[in-house]
Structure 1
Amino acid sequence: MTSIGSDDRAWLRALPADGGREPLFGRAGHRVHPALRLSDLVQGRPPGVTGSQWSSASRASFDLVICAADTGRAIVAVQMGPVASAGSAQQRVERLTDAVSAAAGLPVLRIGSPTLRAAEHGRRLVEYVIDARAYVAGGAGATVDGDDPAPVSFRDILGRLPDGRTGPVNDLGALSRAAVVDAYVAGRVADPIVRGLHVRWADGTAQGWSWVQVRPDACLVERVSVTEHRFSCGINAAQLAEDLATVAVGERLRTNAGTDLLPCAELTAQIVALSRRRDELVGGFAFDHLCAD
Structure 2
Amino acid sequence: MTGSGDGNGSGLRTLPLGDGLSARAGFVVLGAHRLGELVQRRPAGITGNQWSSAIREAYDVVVCAEDGTPRLAVEIGPETPAGQRAERMKNAVAEAVGLPVLRIGSPTLRAAEHGRAVVAYVIDARTYADSVAVVEPGEDPPVGFRDILGRLPDGRTGAVNDLGALARAAAVEAYVEGRLVDPILRGLHVHWTDGPAEGWSWLEVRPGACLVERVTVREHRFSTGLDTARFAEDLAALAIGERLRTMDAAALVPRDELRAAIRGLAARRSELATGFAFDHLCAD
Normalised by the length of structure 2, the TM-score is: 0.95
Give the Cα–Cα distance (whole angstroms) in 1 for the partners of residues 276 and 129 of structure 2: 26
Whether contact under 8 Å (1:271, 1:291) holds in the other structure is yes
Alignment of 1:122-141 (within 5 A): 122-139=115-132
> Letter of the aligned partner of 2:101 in structure 1?
V
Name 1:225's counterpart in structure 2. Answer: 216
Moved over 2 A (4+): 3-8, 141-146, 256-259
> Letter of the aligned partner of 2:17 in structure 1?
A
Name 1:180's counterpart in structure 2. Answer: 171
What's the Cα RMSD here?
1.4
- Partner deviation per Cα, 1:151-189 (whole Å, 9 max, x = no partner): 100000001122222111000010000000000000000
Post-superposition offset of 1:192: 0.8
Give the Cα–Cα distance (whole angstroms) in 2 for the partners of residues 224 and 101 of structure 1: 22
Tell me the number of residue pairs that the alignment of Structure 1 and Structure 2 aligns. 282
- Which of 65, 69, 77 is the aligned partner of 1:68? 65
> Letter of the aligned partner of 1:262 in structure 2?
V
> Letter of the aligned partner of 1:67 in structure 2?
C
Give the Cα–Cα distance (whole angstroms) in 1 for the partners of residues 217 and 186 of structure 2: 19
Secondary structure of 2:63's partner?
strand
Secondary structure of 1:255's partner?
coil
Name 1:39's counterpart in structure 2. Answer: 36
Give the Cα–Cα distance (whole angstroms) in 2 for the partners of residues 255 and 203 of structure 1: 36
Give the Cα–Cα distance (whole angstroms) in 2 for the partners of residues 143 and 260 of structure 1: 47
- Partner deviation per Cα, 1:84-116 (whole Å, 9 max, x = no partner): 22xx3x110001100111011111111100000
Name 1:196's counterpart in structure 2. Answer: 187
Give the Cα–Cα distance (whole angstroms) in 2 for the partners of residues 143 and 239 of structure 1: 23
- Partner deviation per Cα, 1:102-148 (whole Å, 9 max, x = no partner): 01111111110000000001011000001001101112x555643x3
Name 1:114's counterpart in structure 2. Answer: 107
Give the Cα–Cα distance (whole angstroms) in 1 for the partners of residues 158 and 140 of structure 2: 19
Give the Cα–Cα distance (whole angstroms) in 2 for the partners of residues 151 and 32 of structure 1: 28
Name which structure has the greater RCO, CA cutoff 8 Å, separation 6+: 2
Relative distance call for 1:142 and 1:240 in structure 2 (3 A) is: farther
Matched, 1:265 2:256: yes
Give the Cα–Cα distance (whole angstroms) in 2 for the partners of residues 275 and 107 of structure 1: 31
Whether contact under 8 Å (1:37, 1:59) holds in the other structure is yes
Post-superposition offset of 1:4: 4.9
Structure 1 unaligned blocks of 5 or more? none
Give the Cα–Cα distance (whole angstroms) in 2 for the partners of residues 137 and 220 of structure 1: 36
Whether contact under 8 Å (1:115, 1:248) holds in the other structure is yes
Name 1:291's counterpart in structure 2. Answer: 282
Relative distance call for 1:153 and 1:219 in structure 2 (3 A) is: same
Which has the larger displacement, 151-160 or 252-261?
A: 252-261
Name 1:16's counterpart in structure 2. Answer: 16
Whether contact under 8 Å (2:2, 2:222) holds in the other structure is no
- Taking only the aligned residue pairs, the percentage that are identical comes to 60
Whether contact under 8 Å (1:4, 1:133) holds in the other structure is no
Secondary structure of 2:239's partner?
helix
Secondary structure of 2:250's partner?
coil
Whether contact under 8 Å (1:23, 1:31) holds in the other structure is yes
